[in-house]
Structure 1
Amino acid sequence: MTEHHHGAGTVLPQATTVVLALLALAALQRLAARRAVRRNSGRPWPTWRTASFVTGLALIAVALVPPAPTGFPAHMAEHMLLGMYAPLTLVLAAPVTLALRALPPAGARRITAVLHSPPARLAAHPVSALLLSTGSLAVLYFTPLYNTAMSRPAGHWLMAAHFLLSGCLFAHAIAGPDPAPGRPGVPARLTCLGIAIAAHALIAQALYGGFFTDVHAPIDQVRRGAEIMYYGGDIAELLLAVALVTTWRPERRGGVRERSRTAASL
Structure 2
Amino acid sequence: MTPEHAGTGAGPLVVAALAVVAAAAYVLLVLAARRSGRGWDPRRTASFLTGCALVVVAGPAGTALGGFPGHMVVHLLVGMVAPVPLVLGAPLTLAVRALPVGRARTLTRLLRSRPVAVLTVPWVALLLDAGGLWVLYCTPLFTAMMRDPAVGVLVHVHVLLTACLFAWTVAGPDPVPHRPSVPRRLVVLGVAVAAHAALSQLLYAGVLVEVPGPAPGRMAGAQLMYWFGDLAEVALALAVLGRWRPAARPAPAPA
Same fold (TM over 0.5): yes
Tell whether the 8 Å contact from 2:38 to 2:97 is kept in structure 1 after alignment: no
* Deviation of 1:233 (Å): 0.7
1:63 to 53, 58, 63: 58
Distance 2:174 2:26 in 1: 15
1:133 to 125, 129, 138: 129
What is the SS of the residue equivalent to 1:3? coil
Amino acid in the other structure paired with 2:25: L
1:48 aligns with 2:55: no
Tell whether the 8 Å contact from 1:32 to 1:102 is kept in structure 2 after alignment: yes
Residue in structure 2 matched with residue 78 of structure 1 by the alignment? 74
The gaps in structure 2 that reach 5 residues or longer are 248-255
Q: Please, which moves more after superposition, 25-34 or 178-187?
A: 25-34
Amino acid in the other structure paired with 2:66: T
Tell whether the 8 Å contact from 2:84 to 2:167 is kept in structure 1 after alignment: yes
Distance 2:9 2:18 in 1: 22
Tell whether the 8 Å contact from 1:5 to 1:151 is kept in structure 2 after alignment: no
* Deviation of 1:64 (Å): 2.8
**Structure 2 counterparts to residues 226-237 of structure 1, below 5 A:** 226-237=222-233
Tell whether the 8 Å contact from 1:2 to 1:69 is kept in structure 2 after alignment: no
Residue in structure 1 matched with residue 7 of structure 2 by the alignment? 3
Amino acid in the other structure paired with 1:107: R
Tell whether the 8 Å contact from 1:100 to 1:108 is kept in structure 2 after alignment: yes
Give the fraction of aligned pairs with identical amino acids, expressed as a percent: 47
Question: Where do 4+ consecutive residues of structure 1 move more than 6 Å?
Answer: none
2:28 to 31, 40, 46: 31
Distance 1:112 1:43, change over 3 A: closer
Tell whether the 8 Å contact from 1:4 to 1:153 is kept in structure 2 after alignment: no
The gaps in structure 1 that reach 5 residues or longer are 252-266
**Structure 2 counterparts to residues 59-208 of structure 1, below 5 A:** 59-65=54-60, 68-208=64-204
Distance 1:20 1:228, change over 3 A: closer
Distance 1:5 1:116 in 2: 37
Distance 1:114 1:175 in 2: 20
Tell whether the 8 Å contact from 2:7 to 2:74 is kept in structure 1 after alignment: no
Distance 1:176 1:5, change over 3 A: closer
* Deviation of 1:24 (Å): 3.4
